[in-house]
Amino acid sequence: MKKEIGIIGYPLGHTMSPTIHESAFNKLELDMKFNIWETKPENLEQAINNLRNNNILGSCVTLPHKFKVINFLDELDETAVEMKAVNWIVNNDGKLVGHNTDWEGFTKSLDFINYNIQNKISLILGAGGSAKAVCMSLLKGDAKKIYVYNRTKANSTNLVENFSKHKSRIHIIEKNNLEDPKFLNDIDMIINTTSLGMTGGPNPSISPINTDIINKNALCYDLVYSPSITPFLSGAKKNNIKYLGGLSMLVFQAALGFKLTTKLDPPIENMLKSVGIES
């Protein structure tokens, strides 16, 4: 029987995952199928149990299920435990193991442009699931300092508490810091992890920060990948500031999941090319 992988999330209308994985199946001449398992929260348990089928190697997990899915798994890897979030499930002969490849996808996207996190000062905008992945990546990469700003302060507090072992390196900031050029001047990298600027999201035309007053040598990184140039990145471009969109992270987290599920080395160049990124 054909081996299968897929994606579980809701909604999944514009997912790029099939394109990325099918490019890998084609390159490696694998007779495999990629499924879009659009799953409402009330059907999550059933969708996860379906993964125990022996023709299914595993599945990517996306919004809004990255946390709740943990309840239905048999085991978690070390980073999924630390982050309390899962974005890939591997079916090991009926035993479902949760992994998190988002943080490493973020690290690899920076490696890809030869950007070294070590000793850098970063500002994370947002404190949801992807902010946690970014935080994990920055901590593992020996970042010097991480500032976090989020609309809802309680969520920034949760994020920082999640990494309480590293509390000397993570600090919550207030909204007025985002308008203070002196504060912003020390920041090497600004990462938008909010859904501001996302097509189909609540505020597609808004940048999370005024790019006219930030350090011109900073890197502006937007995790949002649709559109490829978000309002935040368009502001960076206008100010001649280096920028990176979220598409390469999406591919790298997918490639790591491909390896976990198929046990094969992912053809990363083809996977990047499938979404228009030349390596």
Q: How far is the CB of 132 from ligand NDP (least distance, A)?
A: 8
Q: How far is the CB of 238 from ligand NDP (least distance, A)?
A: 21
Q: How far is the CB of 228 from ligand NDP (least distance, A)?
A: 11
Nearer to ligand NDP, 118 or 205 (CB): 205
Examine residue 227 and say whether the peptide bond preceding it is cis (omega within 30 degrees of 0): yes
Residue nearest to ligand NDP (CB): 128
Annotated catalytic residue, options 3, 40, 66, 238? 66
Question: Which of these, 214, 247, 202, lies nearest to 228 by C-alpha position?
Answer: 247
Active site residue 145: no
3-state secondary structure 42-102: HHHHHHHHHCCCCCECEEEECCCCCCHHHHHCCEECHHHHHHCCCCEEEEECCEEEEECCH
Nearer to ligand NDP, 47 or 191 (CB): 191
Structure tokens at 206: 């808004």
Nearer to ligand NDP, 107 or 215 (CB): 107
Number of other residues whose CB lies within 10 A of the CB of residue 54: 10
Contact 134, 126 (CB under 8 A): no
Nearer to ligand NDP, 76 or 223 (CB): 223
Q: Fill in the amino acid letter for 90.
A: V
Q: How far is the CB of 105 from ligand NDP (least distance, A)?
A: 6
Question: What is the Rg, in whole angstroms, of the alpha carbon atoms belonging to the chain?
Answer: 19
Contact 186, 215 (CB under 8 A): yes
Nearer to ligand NDP, 92 or 199 (CB): 199
Q: How far is the CB of 128 from ligand NDP (least distance, A)?
A: 2
Q: How far is the CB of 93 from ligand NDP (least distance, A)?
A: 29
Distance separating alpha carbons of residues 210 and 203, to the nearest angstrom: 15
CB-based burial label for 27 (10 Å; 0-12, 13-18, 19+): middle
Phi, psi angles (nearest 5°) of residue 107: -60, -45
C-alpha 37: how far from chain center = 19
Which residues make up the interface to ligand NDP (CB under 6 A)? 63, 102, 105, 126-131, 150-152, 155, 193-196, 198, 202-203, 223-225, 246, 249-250, 253
Nearer to ligand NDP, 91 or 193 (CB): 193
Contacts of 39 (CB under 8 A, 6+ apart): 8, 9, 10, 47, 65
Residues annotated as catalytic are 66
